[in-house]
């Protein structure tokens, strides 16, 4: 059985050799084994390219800058990354002609924190075994765990195992496990709470925010050249919060700015150093959009109009919010 | 009522974003028709209801508003053809998000008021002011730094 990384390197090597592309964007080792970082490789550097269970990072946002450069780039995109890629193409942020998309297979990515919670420490490297097992090499010897037990939040509710944009595919042909979890379960649970319980829940979560801006910087939909929060007068510019209002405002506006464009790629929650469940804010918007304006998956294509840049004369009135859920 | 008594009474601050073409003219009509609406309502004229950025609403709450109401032309009557349709979608989602975060949903409202509806303007504002009065001070979306400035 050929491993997917070998297929990727073989295909990338060929495309670099025949001049179709002149560089590749993928992942290389980060500071620790479990935090591979997106990186650009030219011909001859491919031995540093890695792709394994820790490569959860979505590289599509890097293409905004990369497609402004000369030449064509080979992008290694997992199925969920292709949704973000489509959305960027739709918004004219990425020049489709300058990207060669190699869709790579993904069985779901591992969350280092969940592996640690299982008591596995001192991780040196990781291997995917056939089936659902992960072989973890640690300084204390080899350990195994089930991939399903350590999946990232975004992979627990995987949208799809099929690429919605690709020029070529790198697949091993193995069957990919389906995601069992309902992604709106937690949102629905929160909706059933009383407003005060919800307020307490979000206070508990958002008060941990250190305004590191990681959620904003990693988000493929958050790609404005000048962000509203970079304005000194915004009162929430990259500093520790002086008032709870700032946390609320930052997170409401961050989520609102990507409403209708968020593909639910889950990067915001993955990178949050404080483990704030930011995807719950995005999914609330997605759930509302689905309920009010019909099912919509951002990034599923590059032509349809987003729900907030579209309307119908008989949309629901804002007063519908008053009628939903329990009484105040 | 003496001045001292007036001071102690809770006076809500309500910000009304009124579209220039319909609701602002509706407020004008309410005035010329001698219909009253509470003095707690502070009107901010905007070119169209879709000019209202979600940030405006949060900013209003930050600066001490207890309620925010957005008034625009009736759907289909927008001076710019479709502005209020976009506003309607945005505000629906924003209000739903505020509710999701546990902020009292009655503090925000959208009403469609045409230039001919002075009566509707007056009744809407009276009713909204009453609701906000009952809800009391906005505690969940307040910014204590701004409270200092208000004194």
Rounded CA-CA distance A236/A216 in Å is 13
What is the DSSP secondary structure assignment for residue A324, as one 8-state letter?
S
Same domain, A141 and A220: no
Selected residue of A187, A192, A321 to mutate for chain B interface (largest B Cβ count, 10 A): A321
- A203 close to A244: Cβ distance less than 8 angstroms: yes
Rounded CA-CA distance A59/A77 in Å is 7
What are the tokens at A60?
Answer: 């599509």
Tally of domains within chain A: 2
pLDDT band at A310 (very low <50, low <70, confident <90, very high): very high
* Helices assigned H by DSSP within B1-151: 3-8, 23-32, 54-62, 83-100, 118-135, 144-150
Burial B86-124 (b: 16+ CB within 10 A, else e): bbbbbbbbbbbbbbbbbbbbbbbbbbbbbbebbebbbeb
- Top pLDDT among A216 and A176 is at A216
Same domain, A106 and A225: no
Expressed as residue numbers, the domain containing A221 is 185-323
- Measured in whole angstroms, the distance separating CA B114 from the mean position of its chain's CA atoms is 16
Q: What is the mean pLDDT of residues A59-68?
A: 94
In degrees to the nearest 10, what's the CA dihedral of A296, A297, A299, A304? -20
pLDDT at A327 over 70: no
pLDDT at A232 over 80: no
Is the Cβ pair A199, B89 closer than 8 Å?
no
pLDDT at A143 over 50: yes
Domain boundaries of chain B, sorted by first residue: 12-150
Total length of chain B: 151
Same domain, A282 and A140: no
Beta bridge partners of A134: A128, A145
Burial A263-294 (b: 16+ CB within 10 A, else e): bbbbbbbbbbeeebbbbbbbbbbbbbbeeebe
What are the tokens at A108?
Answer: 């779901």
**What is the ipTM metric for this complex?**
0.89
Q: What is the mean pLDDT of residues A209-213?
A: 87
What is the DSSP secondary structure assignment for residue A151, as one 8-state letter?
B
Count how many pairs of residues, chain A against chain B, have C-beta atoms within 8 Å: 118
Instruction: With respect to residue A180, please indicate whether it lies within any of the assigned structural domains.
Output: no
Same domain, A156 and A9: yes
Selected residue of A198, A235, A248 to mutate for chain B interface (largest B Cβ count, 10 A): A248
The predicted-structure confidence for A81-121, as pLDDT tens digits, reads as follows: 999 999 999 999 999 999 999 999 988 899 999 998 988 88
Q: What is the mean pLDDT of residues A142-148?
A: 87
Same domain, A280 and A220: yes
Under CATH, which number does the domain B12-150 receive?
Answer: 3.40.50
DSSP H or E run through A244: helix A244-257
Instruction: With respect to residue A231, please indicate whether it lies within any of the assigned structural domains.
Output: yes
Same domain, A113 and A210: no
Is the Cβ pair B102, A202 closer than 8 Å?
yes
Instruction: With respect to residue A283, please indicate whether it lies within any of the assigned structural domains.
Output: yes
**Which of helix, strand or coil describes residue A77?**
strand
Task: For residue A308, give the nearest of B89, B96, B99 by CB distance.
Answer: B89
Q: Residue A32: its pLDDT value, please?
A: 86
* A174-183, A218-227, B124-133, range with the lowest pLDDT: A174-183
Domain endpoint, select from A136, A170, A204: A170
Instruction: With respect to residue A212, please indicate whether it lies within any of the assigned structural domains.
Output: yes
Rounded CA-CA distance B135/A161 in Å is 48
Phi and psi for A30 in degrees, rounded to 5?
-100, -160
pLDDT band at B110 (very low <50, low <70, confident <90, very high): very high
Domain endpoint, select from A140, A170, A200: A170
Same domain, A65 and A34: yes
What are the tokens at B55?
Answer: 């940030």
What is the share, in percent, of chain A residues with pLDDT greater than 70? Answer: 95
Same domain, A118 and A69: yes
Same domain, A70 and A204: no
The predicted-structure confidence for A253-293, as pLDDT tens digits, reads as follows: 999 999 999 999 999 999 999 999 999 999 999 999 999 99
Total length of chain A: 328
Q: What is the mean pLDDT of residues A215-241?
A: 80
CA angle at A151 for the pair A146 and A155, rounded to the nearest 5°: 135
CA neighbor of B29 nearest in space, from B111, B112, B122: B122
What are the tokens at A220?
Answer: 């493929």
Instruction: With respect to residue A203, please indicate whether it lies within any of the assigned structural domains.
Output: yes
CA angle at A298 for the pair B58 and A290, rounded to the nearest 5°: 70
CA distance B75 to chain A (A): 7
A289 contact residues in B (CB cutoff 8 A):
93
Mean pLDDT of chain A: 89
pLDDT at B39 over 90: yes
DSSP H or E run through A219: none
Q: What is the mean pLDDT of residues B129-137?
A: 93
Rounded CA-CA distance B151/B146 in Å is 9
Q: What is the mean pLDDT of residues A185-213?
A: 91
B54 contact residues in A (CB cutoff 8 A):
252-253, 256
Q: Residue A237: its pLDDT value, please?
A: 59
- Identify the closest residue of chain A to B86 by CA–CA distance: A311
What are the tokens at B10?
Answer: 């809770």
Q: Residue A202: its pLDDT value, please?
A: 94
Same domain, A192 and A301: yes
Phi and psi for B35 in degrees, rounded to 5?
-95, 140
Q: Residue A221: its pLDDT value, please?
A: 93
pLDDT at A1 over 50: no
The predicted-structure confidence for A4-60, as pLDDT tens digits, reads as follows: 899 999 999 999 999 999 999 999 998 888 889 999 999 889 999 999 889 999 999
**What pTM was computed for the model?**
0.91
Q: What is the mean pLDDT of residues B103-128?
A: 95
Q: Residue A243: its pLDDT value, please?
A: 77
Task: For residue B106, give the nearest of A202, A281, A328 by CB distance.
Answer: A328
* Helices assigned H by DSSP within A127-223: 153-156, 185-192, 195-206, 214-218
Q: Residue A245: its pLDDT value, please?
A: 84
Instruction: With respect to residue A175, please indicate whether it lies within any of the assigned structural domains.
Output: no
Domain endpoint, select from A117, A140, A170: A170
- Top pLDDT among B68 and A244 is at B68
Same domain, A190 and A142: no
Same domain, A206 and A277: yes
């Amino acid at each position: 059985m050929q491993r997917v990384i070998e297929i990727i390197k073989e295909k990338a090597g060929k495309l670099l050799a025949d001049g179709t592309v002149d560089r590749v964007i993928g992942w290389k080792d980060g500071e620790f084994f479990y935090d591979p970082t997106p990186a650009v490789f030219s011909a001859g550097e491919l031995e540093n390219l890695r792709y394994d269970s820790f490569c959860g990072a979505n590289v599509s946002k890097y293409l905004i800058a990369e497609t402004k450069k000369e030449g064509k780039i080979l992008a290694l995109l997992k199925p969920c990354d292709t949704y973000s890629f489509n959305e960027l193409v739709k918004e004219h942020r990425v020049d489709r002609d300058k990207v060669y998309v190699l869709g790579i297979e993904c069985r779901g990515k591992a969350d280092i924190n969940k592996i640690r919670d299982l008591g596995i420490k001192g991780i040196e490297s990781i291997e995917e075994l056939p089936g659902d097992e992960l072989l973890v090499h640690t300084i204390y010897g080899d350990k195994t765990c089930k991939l399903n037990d350590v999946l990232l939040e975004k992979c627990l509710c995987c949208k799809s195992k099929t690429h919605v944009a690709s020029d070529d595919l790198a697949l091993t042909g193995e069957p990919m496990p389906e995601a069992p979890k309902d992604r709106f379960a937690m949102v629905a649970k929160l909706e059933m709470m009383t407003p005060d319980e919800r307020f307490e829940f979000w206070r508990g979560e958002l008060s941990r925010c250190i305004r590191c801006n990681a959620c904003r910087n990693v988000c493929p939909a958050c790609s404005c050249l000048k962000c509203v929060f970079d304005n000194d007068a915004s009162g929430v510019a990259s500093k520790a919060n002086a008032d709870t209002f700032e946390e609320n405002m930052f997170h409401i506006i961050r989520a609102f700015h990507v409403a209708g464009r968020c593909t639910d790629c889950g990067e915001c929650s993955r990178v949050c150093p404080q483990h704030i469940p930011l995807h719950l804010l995005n999914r609330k918007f997605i759930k509302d959009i689905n309920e009010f304006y019909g099912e919509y998956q951002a990034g599923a294509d590059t032509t349809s109009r987003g729900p907030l840049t579209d309307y119908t004369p008989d949309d629901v009135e804002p007063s519908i919010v008053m009628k939903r859920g329990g009484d105040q | 009522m003496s001045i001292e008594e007036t001071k102690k009474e809770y006076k809500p601050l309500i910000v009304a974003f009124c579209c220039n073409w319909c609701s602002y003219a509706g407020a004008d009509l309410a005035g010329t028709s001698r219909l009253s609406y509470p003095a707690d309502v502070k009107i901010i004229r905007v070119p169209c209801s879709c000019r209202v950025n979600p940030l405006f609403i949060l900013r209003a709450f930050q600066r001490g508003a207890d309620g925010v109401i957005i008034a625009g032309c009736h759907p289909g009557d927008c001076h710019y053809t479709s502005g209020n349709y976009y506003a309607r979608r945005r505000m629906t989602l924003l209000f739903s998000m505020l509710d999701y975060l546990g902020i009292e949903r009655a503090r925000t409202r959208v009403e469609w008021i045409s230039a001919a509806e002075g009566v509707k303007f007056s009744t809407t504002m009276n009713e909204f002011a009453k609701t906000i009065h009952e809800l009391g001070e906005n505690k969940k979306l307040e910014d204590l730094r701004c409270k200092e400035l208000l004194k």
